[in-house]
Amino acid sequence: MNQAASEAVVRLQRASGWRKKELQTLQSAMPVIGVSARFNMMRGSLVLLCAHCEGFLRDATAIYLRYLEDRSPDLDDVRESYIILLKPDGLARPWRRARNQLLGDTTGRRRMLGDMRRHVWLLGLDYPPFEAQEKPLGELVRLRNAIAHGEKQWLSDDSYSEHTRRVLTFIDTLEDEVIGSIRNERYLRPAA
């Protein structure tokens, strides 16, 4: 693996590592918190779970596209999903434009998980590893929105643990897919 790829993998692992540690620490603290405080902690933690999903999706995208920018492959060698995203302007450094398109608009950031299929496709990643996570992450976003609008969301310890497990699985899956794409150069078109 070349230097740029190694640096991208390390940045990605750093971006996932602190999130996973924080979520696991919160989860392990829940059983020792009193019942009345636990309800509030779980509500706040659900919001944090969603934020970590969206934050890692944003960071993984930025790291991946920065790696591609540093590598600067010829656009003719790149998979179609990137061409659709990058070709219109014909910029000399198109990866920066792609990063801004995926991450720049605020409405897009709020809808990252809701539009995950498109987001993953634009990154040139295979979607099947994420399919089973689409519905549970949608439920997490729904719960987060309900909490943000002042609704009380009652959670059992088991459902909170399940949401945490799903978020950790999503982070691991995304990390694995991006690292696999970097290592195996899956962003390039197959040789003809």
For residues 84 and 121, give the distance between their C-alpha atoms in angstroms, rounded to a whole number.
Answer: 11
Amino acid in the structure at residue 166:
R
Owner of token pair 């609008």: 149
For residues 123 and 30, give the distance between their C-alpha atoms in angstroms, rounded to a whole number.
Answer: 36
pLDDT digits (tens, 9 = 90+) for 102-135: 665 544 445 666 677 877 877 778 889 998 888 8
Q: Which residues pair with 78 in a beta bridge?
A: 188
Which one has a higher pLDDT value, 106 or 7?
Answer: 7
Say if pTM beats, i.e. exceeds, 0.85: no
Confidence of residue 138 (pLDDT cuts 50, 70, 90): confident
pLDDT for position 109: 42
Instruction: Tokens for 82, please give them.
Output: 């990137």
pLDDT digits (tens, 9 = 90+) for 64-94: 888 887 776 666 676 666 655 555 554 445 5
pLDDT for position 108: 41
Question: In the chain, where are the structural domains located?
Answer: 3-184
Q: Which residues contact 110 (CB under 8 A, 6 or more apart)?
A: none
Question: Nearest-CA neighbor of 8 among 61, 83, 53?
Answer: 61
Confidence of residue 98 (pLDDT cuts 50, 70, 90): low
Q: What percent of the chain has pLDDT over 90?
A: 24
